[in-house]
Amino acid sequence: MKTTVRFIESLLSLYIAIALIISVSGCARSEPNQFPDSENVYHVYPGESIQSALNAAAKNNSANRVLVHAGIYQPAEPSQALIFFNSAHDGITLEAVGKVILTAANPTLADRSEASYPAVVNHVVYFGDGISRKTIFRGFDITGANNFVTRSDKPVCIEQLPSDSPLKKRIFFYSDGGAIKIFGRSYPTIEGTEIYNNYASPCAGGVSVENQGFNQQAPLLKNCIFRNNRSQVTGSAVDVLPGGNAVIENCLFVNNIANTGEDYIGQRSGNEYNKKHGSGALTVFRRSKATIIRCTFTGNWNGVDDKGTANIYQDCIFWQNISSGGISEGNRYEIDIVDGTGVNGCWIEGKIMDLRNTINPETNVLHAPNPRFDQNYAPLAEEYSDVGYRPTRDAP
């Protein structure tokens, strides 16, 4: 009898030990290695948490680089963002190794009856208050946003504002920027990233910049591709809200569609935004700054609409932004800009080249010849040797 009891006790102890091991190892599998390698670099592999690696790097004064290895990374639960950066993460470099897809979608978690299915996060990536250009985000694919919106700070609060903060979380904090949301005093460097097949309402299926007046500095978007993004109202690829700022260099905008539905924000005040002709792949609101260098806009619903002052568009290509898909009744345009003094060295051709007749035809080429894009949207025509986007990644 004693032998039997001892055997049962031993079996029970073994079961508990195994359960503990499974429990601990299970937790370990859900988290990345919390220790950097010999070169002080954190690594994340499919099935592990990018956010946990970012948080570990934020606490480590000597290791500020996180490498994410090839695979698809999706949300583990519904929340406001798949990945978030705030002031604690400033100075970290997050970089893809191989093809890394960050998606807002998780079909097993999402409610099939919702229009936002299969998305389960508001933003795939969030850059919050207190981020400088030293924070580098490089080499990712971002996709899957579909106007999922939650205001809940659970399971995690991505932006904890003090009670006396000048910043306010309003509707656009939650709704805009399906792929990337940039909020407050936030000026990250985003490089070599492809943003595609994202939708948001009202604005910015791709990137939403909401500096709320703190626009003495600017986020940098460089060597990026924006394709097949949609918005119900403005800025299908990039939307710079009032008081914002953005620098965009060597980026491609192709087949991005704004105005897919009614402007329910403007309807509340009786002043729908750009009602007749609609908005562009890039929208820049009043009191906002923008510097756009050597970018190409082609095949979008519209090119650019800009109500800022003396914003810069240098050596860009605007070619046949005449795609369908929106509801605005007027014709498509290449550029709709209130102050065109900063538009120089641009080559422009489309149904309406200069909607407001504010662009100097002597410092730009209107009725530009066919750039003869290759499969990567690099122009083959010799006249375009010094203008427009040049690929740093292979075309999809």
Q: How many CB atoms lie within 10 A of CB 168?
A: 9
366 vs 396, which has greater pLDDT? 366
The residues, ordered by sequence, that sit 6+ positions from 7 with a Cβ below 8 Å of its Cβ are none
H helix count then E strand count, the chain: 4, 28
393 vs 236, which has greater pLDDT? 236
CA 271 to chain centre: 27
Predicted pLDDT at 33: 54
pLDDT, one tens digit per residue, over 247-259 is 999 999 999 999 9
Query: How far, CA to CA in Å, does 252 sit from each of 70, 122, 157, 207, 275?
Result: 23, 24, 33, 14, 26
Query: How far, CA to CA in Å, does 153 sit from each of 19, 31, 225, 236, 259?
Result: 32, 21, 31, 26, 30
153's torsion region: left (phi>0), alpha (psi -120 to 50) or beta?
Answer: alpha
Query: How far, CA to CA in Å, does 228 sit from each of 232, 255, 259, 315, 349?
Result: 13, 5, 14, 23, 21
Q: How many CB atoms lie within 10 A of CB 106?
A: 18
How far is residue 366's CA from residue 317's CA, in Å, rounded to a whole number?
Answer: 11
- Residue 377's identity, in one-letter code, is Y
DSSP labels, 132-172: -TT-EEES-EEE--B--------S--S----TT-S----HH
Predicted pLDDT at 269: 84
82 vs 37, which has greater pLDDT? 82
- Residue 274 is classified by DSSP as T
Work out the average pLDDT over 39-59: 96
Buried b (16+ CB within 10 A) or exposed e, 146-156: bbbbeeeeeee
Predicted pLDDT at 286: 96
Write down the domain spans for the chain: 37-159+177-384
Q: Quickly state the pLDDT bin for 11 (edges 50, 70, 90).
A: very low
pLDDT, one tens digit per residue, over 322-375 is 999 999 999 999 999 999 999 999 999 999 999 999 999 999 999 999 999 999
Of 169, 161, 101, which Cα lies nearest the Cα of 130?
Answer: 161
Which stretch of 42-56, 235-249, 258-272 has the lowest confidence by average pLDDT? Answer: 258-272
Predicted pLDDT at 270: 86
Domain range 37-159+177-384, CATH architecture:
3 Solenoid (2.160)
Q: How much of the chain, in percent, has pLDDT values that exceed 70?
A: 91
Query: How far, CA to CA in Å, does 25 sit from each of 20, 29, 54, 115?
Result: 8, 6, 21, 37
